[in-house]
Amino acid sequence: METHYMKFDDNGNQAISAFNEDPSNPRNSYELGALFWSSISRQVGTIIRNGGDVGDLINNEKDFINFGLHPGIREDAENVRDAIFEAYLDYKHLKIELLTDWLTTTIAEITEGNRKDLIQQDIRNEEIQLKHLENEISLAYEAREELLKSLLANGSPEATRHVINQISQLKQVDQMQRASLKRKRQVAKGAFFSVEERRSFVQQEKQLQKGMQFYEALASQVRSPQDRATLHEHTKKAHRPGYQSSCR
């Protein structure tokens, strides 16, 4: 299998050269250690920011990441690696975690944490949109109720009670209409429904048709075309099926 080795810039190559010339110099050892960590962190950071796969770097550079092996530092880098793994065969009962193991686990945890944060933010945004939609429907209910009372009650207590009863029935029609729109949306997305559920849907659609006839009869009592258009607009808002979450 072909072995890949880390590429360094001029400053990195100078640090390696200085260490090779005088390995006993503490300064050279420090610079070489700094090169090791900075090279790994820089490349991992670049890959993550660009949305790449850190696994490729880990697989290609595992000798350098795990053992700091590089032919520029040790010409026998491959032989040293083989010797390390041969020695490990005598200690199979020990669980040895390599730096690549830790790096893979840590990056996975960070990535998963970022995904959770994004999902939680999406849920919060959707909850805000849902609350806004529910408020719009509630306002549509109130506006429609006030409109019908002002147009049909005529100030009579008996007429007012009759109108309130009609408004209550109309809210049931709203609920049936929203349920119907939701079912149709689910069918369009390929949702599976049993035979019993489909039969139930047919019956519910028949009830909805009766409910819509009730609404049309009620709307026909509104004489003014402008008031009737306003009534239709309020009812249209009340029929909205609700916000469909992308997280659920």
| 244: pLDDT strictly greater than 70 | no
Mean pLDDT of 128-143: 84
How crowded is the C-beta side of 110, counted as CA atoms within 13 Å? Answer: 11
Q: Where are the alpha helices (DSSP H) in 25-98?
A: 26-49, 54-60, 62-67, 77-88
| 145: pLDDT strictly greater than 70 | yes
Q: Output the pLDDT for position 245.
A: 41
Mean pLDDT of 67-95: 82
3-class SS of residue 225: helix
pLDDT digits 0-9 by tens, 168-216: 888 888 888 888 888 888 888 788 888 888 899 999 999 999 999 988 8
pLDDT digits 0-9 by tens, 175-184: 888 888 888 8
Please choose, from the candidates 142, 147, 157, 164, the residue with its C-alpha nearest in 3D space to the C-alpha of residue 219: 147
Q: What angle do CA 115, 117, 118 make, to 5 degrees?
A: 65
| 3: pLDDT strictly greater than 70 | no
| 80: pLDDT strictly greater than 70 | yes
Mean pLDDT of 4-28: 84
Q: Output the pLDDT for position 91.
A: 77
